[in-house]
Amino acid sequence: MTARDAPGSPTDLHVPEPVARPGGHASFDHISFDEGAAIDRPSPEAPETGLRDYGYGLVRVLGGAGRAWDPGIDAEMLRRGLRAMARTRLFEDRMFRAHRQGKTSFFMKSTGEEAIGVAPSLMLGARDMCFPTYRMQGWLIARDYPLEMMINQIYSNEKDPLRGRQLPILYSARDYGFYSLSGNVGSRFGHAVGWAMASAYRGEDHVALGMIGEGTTAEGDFHEALTFAGIYRAPAILAINNNQWAISTFSGIATPAGTTFASKAIGYGIPGLRVDGNDFLAVWAAIEWAAQRARAGKGATLIEFLTYRAAGHSTSDDPTRYRPADEAGHWPLGDPVERLKAHLVELGEWSEQRHTQMVAELTDDLRSAQRAAEAVGTLGQSKPPVAEMFDGVFKEPDWRVIEQRRELGV
Amino acid sequence: MTARDAPGSPTDLHVPEPVARPGGHASFDHISFDEGAAIDRPSPEAPETGLRDYGYGLVRVLGGAGRAWDPGIDAEMLRRGLRAMARTRLFEDRMFRAHRQGKTSFFMKSTGEEAIGVAPSLMLGARDMCFPTYRMQGWLIARDYPLEMMINQIYSNEKDPLRGRQLPILYSARDYGFYSLSGNVGSRFGHAVGWAMASAYRGEDHVALGMIGEGTTAEGDFHEALTFAGIYRAPAILAINNNQWAISTFSGIATPAGTTFASKAIGYGIPGLRVDGNDFLAVWAAIEWAAQRARAGKGATLIEFLTYRAAGHSTSDDPTRYRPADEAGHWPLGDPVERLKAHLVELGEWSEQRHTQMVAELTDDLRSAQRAAEAVGTLGQSKPPVAEMFDGVFKEPDWRVIEQRRELGV
Amino acid sequence: MAVMNMIQAINSALDVKLADDPATLIFGEDVGYFGGVFRVTDGLQQKHGIKRCFDTPISEGGIIATAIGMGANGLRPIPEIQFADYILPAFDQLVSEAARLRYRSNGEFWAPITVRSPYGGGIFGGQTHSQSPEAIFAHITGLKTVIPSTPYDAKGLLISAIEDDDPVIFLEPKRLYNGPFNGVQGQPLKTWEGFAEAQVPDHHFTVPLGQAAIAREGADATVLAYGTMVHVAKAGIEESGVDAELIDLRSIVPLDIETITASVSKTGRCVILHEASSFGGFGGELAAQVQERCFWALKSPIERIAGWDTPYPHAFEWDYFPGPGRLAKALARVMENR
Amino acid sequence: MAVMNMIQAINSALDVKLADDPATLIFGEDVGYFGGVFRVTDGLQQKHGIKRCFDTPISEGGIIATAIGMGANGLRPIPEIQFADYILPAFDQLVSEAARLRYRSNGEFWAPITVRSPYGGGIFGGQTHSQSPEAIFAHITGLKTVIPSTPYDAKGLLISAIEDDDPVIFLEPKRLYNGPFNGVQGQPLKTWEGFAEAQVPDHHFTVPLGQAAIAREGADATVLAYGTMVHVAKAGIEESGVDAELIDLRSIVPLDIETITASVSKTGRCVILHEASSFGGFGGELAAQVQERCFWALKSPIERIAGWDTPYPHAFEWDYFPGPGRLAKALARVMENR
Ligand SMILES: Cc1ncc(C[n+]2csc(CCOP(=O)(O)OP(=O)(O)O)c2C)c(N)n1
Ligand SMILES: Cc1ncc(C[n+]2csc(CCOP(=O)(O)OP(=O)(O)O)c2C)c(N)n1
Ligand SMILES: [Mg+2]
Ligand SMILES: [Mg+2]
């Protein structure tokens, strides 16, 4: 009676594969881009139980069927957003080339994903805190963090604000609401929740924005952060950058086909929004909704931003080895810079000519920032005093680093 | 424009508390016991997308409104289940007393939760594998694992099958489909998935049953196991014993009020069933459904068994310190032994008299098993040869344990 | 001044800090209403409110991640991990985040957290309620590790740890919670009553991190120990009849290297005692340091007495636990070389 | 026989095992279609099929848990962790489960898994792509840890590790993947071409775990090293002019204690070299063992040359990395005592 082993089992190990590999036909037909329930904007104070469909819809403003989510941003701010996104792209292209020229060891781009770094940076407050991924240089750029300082960090030179200790782009910028990055993916997601709980504990209304890549949602950290956020109603915005790829691994290895990353919110009793991540206004609107909810004491929101990693994973990567070369061209949500630009032009608030002029200005700025940084030095040509290597392990040095510093003679 | 910090924030750190503490009025009114969507039994091969409501319903057979889930078990098997549950309860009571008498160091009971150990044990096949929690002694008892061996393990005596190496009740019994337990909670949940993937890889139709406490679902292991199970369609049944308490911590510290543990399946793209865990037939039916699904190559299922931990957490615990003494009496799903017994009596397949007689027989068996184990010895009076302490660190001993064994002179 | 056992002393340290610093917060599994499975946080929620001392999900990684985030936002969290064996799911958070945050951010962020956790054997806890994981923390640059051996030190060191701006692993020898223990099983249980080290002021005081205590002065050999093993060492020295100096390290990072080298330079002999399994244990570091610094003074090889290189076995607890007899034999061996 | 660099040699070992044992399975982040970020599994999915070599979620804990479950069900999984720094989220699985399963179940279940992971610095990887975590594994009873230094050994040791019925951590010195490296930055890159150790048979062969290799014979001092540091040691010995014996440990658990003690008994001097930070590192265990076993032969204190007790800093990589110059100085120091 207990033996139920049937012969000729239909079981087999199932390993998901992407629609296309190099040489194949790129397609995103398997992904739903329907607005669904998100055609409406619910009250940010609505109970979670009524919001469970939002994780399957799509929040859109630009090109969306409804305008419920339109955040009503003035043209000045839209231009600021456009400028920051364009600046980010130019900056990254330039630094990518600097890497190819041997000026640093490593670099990463957020090409095609700039709205996700820039819009929250402009939307959130000076005393809110972002717990970024490495694809959010746009946050710093939108807040006018000095480009020269960024480049000094990338070059690990004598003026590097992180004193040569960190891999390029693993910035820390407390005064700009940008928490210390590290090479490990996922492990700061829970810090956002703890940070937000501390804010709530003091009765402050500062919120934390935690960001994570879609591939990284598979880490235990993701689950633990959401569990704590749900239970203690942390005023945190927990967001997923779903750019379809995790190095060479497609998103079907992070969550099965047919489900969405936003729907993962359901199990934690918090709302989940699925958002057009290449729509500056939709990103802004979703962050604004979640921030309002958090500041109203209603706790955390999970947001999935749909986007596409148009660039390689990093300077160490060659994406043509694992995905069709023209895949980016098939991405249905377009490019965030182009879309916002077109919107502003349509509003009569921008023109090709102004755009060209802006790009020229930005390029000039960048060039002089780079020149200034290179006057200090590139990787290997210049670095902080070696003695500083021994600082900051603890607040006060102990005998080990004191002895070792002496041994090294610095 | 970026500063949005509102004064007089409504945020505050929210720490959930149970309905009642000692001296208060026990109540389970905040938990839904509605059958909801689970009034129907879907095809085990149904696509997950159509099953998302099941995590909010309740699978019931005994006392349920519908009979869709009735597994149609014959009376013989029902009596076997009743017997195993009663035997488990008697065994645990007796061993609990043995601990109080100083015969061992530690013990844990599953009183009121016996259906969750017993029904899957009888339902699943000899070559399926259970990855148990410490509340599943019923699995071994239902499969007639020798009681004397269990007691030898509990006493860590010379005949202990685990050679004195493990805390009481952290059994391992490969031939009985019972995977090695350990003191760490949660860390074997992912092993069930790997085991199931290996089975699928070989085209076998053996399934794995992974069990976890509701409190332990907060561990990263839970998320990782479900992620892998969903992606690789592992033929695994992943089940949560929601007995309302994790030592002194109520289930609202594991998942927020208003959601369910079964609904956590949704984010992983697998079905979630919420099941009356004190209903032997419902437990059987849910396991059978999930096993059919797994053997049909449709992958994993998450099951939440609703039950109540009528006993203390362990011999080290005194639950009257943190919950109303009469809380068990308010539990709406009753007692699994009493309910199955009443059902059999109603069917005309059982009687008070037969029950009394069965209890007497079981007690006799137990008494002689205990006597036999005590003839070998209780903790401290008898143990395996000390030399065995050094065995099994690796398959073959290395020089370290060889030298150390010599140093100890054994 | 009152007589406190180690549980009461730790509770008192927490109580003092909750009262004097609104940035302190205690959380962990079962620490809130219930007061912890060892009763260490008993009464603190009732006294200081649920927001100051509360239960968490069973998620050690989540507990430490939350603590780090709070620490980065101005709080001074004191999370509890129920057993030191269960710190492992949080190991990445401790190593990759807590320990590295200050250095990598050039001091912009840091993690002033104190992770309390009971460690060690002697209570028939079996493989996963008995381990001593200090060695894996000692190797991590950026973590401090503190292990008291008396109620007085427990309170004073814990207050120092909480007030320290770096992450501290505070390991509590659970076998000493209720009384000192000399490592010989089966004797009547001792309480802390009557021991000078159990006279603990009610108010705020500190014992600085990184200063060892000389628990017994001696001329002929040096014994290095911490936590439970300090008491075992006393018994072992007595049993041996050797005039050994006993150093209670109290914190292994920062390590009081001066006290150690001064003692071994004087005695010329050194025995290291710890409960964790020997291979790769902290005894290796101590032996390496001592021979590097006191080579010419050494009259005998440095000996390590430690747990065997097996998991901690339930039935064989007293065969595994390094008792005073093994230390006494080691002292006799090192004394053979005059 | 072919010339293989270390990547090719490891790839060949995996290829041989996939072909000869259907129970072997490779999985990890980006190891499938793409063939791994260091190309170590290149072509294996194409050749052996997607079920034999596939991508996983970014979840090191999940990867190891899955591997253990498969191992308990008759397979012989060979998971990859993309960088050794990222083993930490799986540390609990390795320690509490893989290492303990056989012992606690009295041999009913075990975890015959081989966890491959590139470790070490020298590639400007910064703090989290450069670490050497071997010490925290060495302390765990029930885990084996293997670190090759040549393509030949890498293949032979990896096949042994895969065929071993116990869990093995197989750390690959990423700085040696494409060529030997003497620790001096800025020289023209060397390939493995022309090195005898890069002559690797295509077919199945093994190098046993637990046997050190004498990489250089010598009379006056013993240098203990493994992985990248073996090559640095060669350069340092040359620079020093000391006639030192160089022992390549190859596996640190099991440790070839006999070869070590025989050598130090002969030379009377010992310098230990590793890349991990010094305090609490594996050098401590080695020093402790050597002085316990060779005390009377020692003419000088045992020296440890290792990474500084700081995180691995990006810009200061070559100030941090223990190069041949530091070893040469240490050898000169130990030679002062004749
Ligand atoms: C804990 C950890 N595991 C693995 C890695 C290696 N790694 C770096 S980035 C990356 C992919 C991340 O993908 P995703 O989360 O989707 O972010 P994206 O790069 O697409 O923004 C991996 C596997 C890491 N850095 N940290
Ligand atoms: C990793 C780990 N953390 C903490 C503990 C301590 N502990 C043992 S049982 C338990 C409660 C578990 O509760 P639950 O998962 O609900 O299972 P139940 O006891 O109710 O069956 C805790 C916290 C542990 N054993 N392992
Ligand atoms: Mg991605
Ligand atoms: Mg429970």
What residues of C are in contact with residue B164 (Cβ under 8 Å)? 313-316
If you measure from the C-alpha of residue C132 to the centroid of ligand 2, how many angstroms do you get, rounded to a whole number?
20
Name which of D69, D165, A18 is nearest B200 in CA terms.
D69
- What would the mean pLDDT of A16-45 be, rounded to a whole number? 96
pLDDT at B326: 94
> Strands, E, within B147-224: which ranges?
208-213
If you measure from the C-alpha of residue A265 to the centroid of ligand 1, how many angstroms do you get, rounded to a whole number?
21
Asked if residue B280 is part of any domain, the answer here is: yes
Q: Which residue has the tokens 């005390």?
A: D295
pLDDT at B370: 98
Q: Could you say which of A164, A316, A401 has the minimum Cβ distance to residue D309? A: A401
Query: Using CA atoms, how far apart are residues C218 and C244, in angstroms rounded to an integer?
Result: 4
Q: Is A216 in the pocket of ligand 1 (CB under 6 A)?
A: yes
Question: Which element (helix H / strand E) includes D222?
Answer: strand D221-225
- The catalytically annotated residue of C129, C139, C274, C314 is C129
Q: Could you say which of C68, C106, C165 has the minimum Cβ distance to residue A194? A: C68
Which of the ligands is closest to the CA of residue A182?
1
Q: What is the mean pLDDT of each run of 10 residues along chain C (338 residues)?
A: 95 98 98 98 98 98 98 98 98 98 98 98 96 98 98 98 98 98 93 97 98 98 98 98 98 98 98 98 98 98 98 97 98 93
Looking at CA atoms only, how far is residue B19 from chain D in angstroms? 35
Give the three-state DSSP class for D172.
strand
**What confidence tens digit (pLDDT) does each residue in A311-323 have?**
999 999 999 999 9
If you measure from the C-alpha of residue C87 to the centroid of ligand 2, how many angstroms do you get, rounded to a whole number?
14
Query: How many CB pairs below 8 A link A and B?
Result: 202
pLDDT at A1: 29
Query: Using CA atoms, how far apart are residues B366 and B193, in angstroms rounded to an integer?
Result: 35
- What would the mean pLDDT of A34-39 be, rounded to a whole number? 95
Query: Using CA atoms, how far apart are residues B230 and A257, in angstroms rounded to an integer?
Result: 10
Q: Where does residue C165 fall: left (phi above 0), alpha (psi -120 to 50 degrees), or beta otherwise?
A: alpha
Q: Is the CB of C141 less than 8 angstroms away from the CB of D92? A: no
Give the three-state DSSP class for C299.
coil
If you measure from the C-alpha of residue C117 to the centroid of ligand 4, how many angstroms do you get, rounded to a whole number?
22
Name which of A356, A201, C62 is nearest B12 in CA terms.
A201
Q: Which residues surround ligand 3, an ion (CB under 5 A)?
A: A 213-215, 243, 246
* Res. A224: pLDDT tops 80: yes
Q: Domain of B306? A: 43-313+325-379
Question: Which element (helix H / strand E) includes D285?
Answer: helix D282-294
Mutation target vs A (from D46, D310, D312; most A CBs, 10 A cutoff): D310
D27-D32-D36 Cα angle (round to 5): 90
* Res. D312: pLDDT tops 50: yes
**What confidence tens digit (pLDDT) does each residue in B290-334 have?**
999 999 999 999 999 999 999 999 999 999 999 999 999 999 999
A347 in contact with chain B, both atoms CB, cutoff 8 A: no
pLDDT at B89: 98
Asked if residue B390 is part of any domain, the answer here is: no
Under the banding of pLDDT at 50, 70 and 90, the label for residue B380 is very high
pLDDT at A66: 67
Query: How many CB pairs below 8 A link C and D?
Result: 121
Q: Is the CB of D65 less than 8 angstroms away from the CB of B180? A: no
Query: What's the one-letter identity of residue B359?
Result: V
Kind of pairing between the strands at D2-3 and D199-200: antiparallel
Q: Is the CB of B167 less than 8 angstroms away from the CB of C128? A: yes
Q: Is B156 in the pocket of ligand 2 (CB under 6 A)?
A: no
Question: Which element (helix H / strand E) includes B220?
Answer: helix B220-231
pLDDT at D231: 98
Q: Is the CB of B266 less than 8 angstroms away from the CB of A268? A: no
pLDDT at B5: 41
* Res. B1: pLDDT tops 50: no
Which of the ligands is closest to the CA of residue B216?
2
If you measure from the C-alpha of residue B319 to the centroid of ligand 1, how many angstroms do you get, rounded to a whole number?
44
Which residues sit opposite D146 in a β-bridge?
D170, D251
HSE at residue D101, side-chain half, CA atoms within 13 A, is 29
Backbone angles phi, psi at A252, to 5 degrees: -70, -10
Query: What's the one-letter identity of residue A8?
Result: G
Q: Is A184 in the pocket of ligand 1 (CB under 6 A)?
A: yes
Asked if residue A163 is part of any domain, the answer here is: yes
- What would the mean pLDDT of A163-178 be, rounded to a whole number? 98
Q: Is the CB of D129 less than 8 angstroms away from the CB of A404? A: no
Do C2-200 and C213-334 show the same overall fold?
yes
**What confidence tens digit (pLDDT) does each residue in B152-210 have?**
999 999 999 999 999 999 999 999 999 999 999 999 999 999 999 999 999 999 999 99
- pTM tops 0.90: yes
Contacts of residue A288, Cβ cutoff 8 Å, sequence gap at least 6 = A71, A123
B182 in contact with chain D, both atoms CB, cutoff 8 A: yes
pLDDT at D263: 98
The proportion of chain D whose per-residue pLDDT surpasses 90, expressed as a percent, equals 99
Under the banding of pLDDT at 50, 70 and 90, the label for residue A3 is very low
Tell me, what CATH number does B243's domain have? 3.40.50.970
Contacts of residue C73, Cβ cutoff 8 Å, sequence gap at least 6 = A129, A194, A195, A198, A199
Tokens of D258: 């006999």
Mutation target vs A (from C104, C140, C258, C292; most A CBs, 10 A cutoff): C104
SS3 track for chain A: CCCCCCCCCCCCCCCCCCCCCCCCCCCCCCCCCCCHHHHCCCCCCCCHHHHCCHHHCCECCCCCCCCCCCCCCCHHHHHHHHHHHHHHHHHHHHHHHHHHCCCCCCCCCCCCCHHHHHHHHHHCCCCCEEECCCCCHHHHHHCCCCHHHHHHHHHCCCCCCCCCCCCCCCCCEHHHCECCCCCCCCCCHHHHHHHHHHHHHCCCCCCEEEEEECHHHHCHHHHHHHHHHHHCCCCEEEEEEECCEECCEEHHHCCCCCCCCHHHHHHHCCCEEEEECCCHHHHHHHHHHHHHHHHCCCCCEEEEEECCCCCCCCCCCCHHHCCCCCHHHHCCCCCHHHHHHHHHHHCCCCCHHHHHHHHHHHHHHHHHHHHHHHHHCCECCECCCHHHHHCCCCCCCCHHHHHHHHHHCC
Contacts of residue A108, Cβ cutoff 8 Å, sequence gap at least 6 = A134, A135, A169, A313, A314, A315
Task: Give catalytic status of residue D231 as yes or no.
Answer: no
B238 in contact with chain D, both atoms CB, cutoff 8 A: no
Query: Using CA atoms, how far apart are residues C292 and D179, in angstroms rounded to an integer?
Result: 34
Core vs surface per residue B380-401: b (16+ CB within 10 A) or e: bebbbebebbbbbbbeebbebb
HSE at residue B406, side-chain half, CA atoms within 13 A, is 6
* Res. A4: pLDDT tops 50: no
* Res. D119: pLDDT tops 80: yes
Q: Is A249 in the pocket of ligand 1 (CB under 6 A)?
A: no
Q: Is the dihedral of CA B210, B117, B295, B208 positive or negative?
A: positive
Q: Roughly how many angstroms between the first and final C-alpha of chain C, as a whole number?
A: 45
Looking at CA atoms only, how far is residue B128 from chain A in angstroms? 8
Q: Could you say which of B165, B201, B227 has the minimum Cβ distance to residue D104? A: B165
pLDDT at A7: 46
Count the domains in chain B.
1
D136 in contact with chain C, both atoms CB, cutoff 8 A: yes
What residues of A are in contact with residue B1 (Cβ under 8 Å)? 77, 122
Q: A208 near A128, Cβ under 8 Å? A: yes
**What confidence tens digit (pLDDT) does each residue in A235-275 have?**
999 999 999 999 999 999 999 999 999 999 999 999 999 99
Under the banding of pLDDT at 50, 70 and 90, the label for residue A6 is very low
CATH architecture of the domain with residue range C2-200: 3-Layer(aba) Sandwich (3.40)
**Bond prior to C322 in cis (omega within 30° of 0):** no
Give the three-state DSSP class for D224.
strand
D163 in contact with chain A, both atoms CB, cutoff 8 A: no
Question: Which element (helix H / strand E) includes C273?
Answer: strand C270-277
Q: Could you say which of C89, C96, C280 has the minimum Cβ distance to residue D138? A: C280
Q: Is B374 in the pocket of ligand 2 (CB under 6 A)?
A: no
Q: Is A243 in the pocket of ligand 1 (CB under 6 A)?
A: yes
* CA-based nearest residue in chain A for residue B297: A11
Domain C213-334 fold: Rossmann fold (3.40.50)
Looking at CA atoms only, how far is residue A314 from chain C in angstroms? 21
**What confidence tens digit (pLDDT) does each residue in B335-350 have?**
999 999 999 999 999 9
Q: Return the domain boundaries, chain D.
A: 2-200, 213-334
> Strands, E, within B145-294: which ranges?
208-213, 236-242, 245-246, 249-250, 272-276
If you measure from the C-alpha of residue C5 to the centroid of ligand 2, how many angstroms do you get, rounded to a whole number?
27
Query: Using CA atoms, how far apart are residues B153 and C126, in angstroms rounded to an integer?
Result: 13
B12 in contact with chain A, both atoms CB, cutoff 8 A: yes
pLDDT at A9: 60
Asked if residue A226 is part of any domain, the answer here is: yes
Taking CA atoms, C208 is separated from B109, C56, D264, in Å, by 45, 30, 40
Q: Is the CB of C127 less than 8 angstroms away from the CB of B166? A: yes
- What would the mean pLDDT of D179-198 be, rounded to a whole number? 95
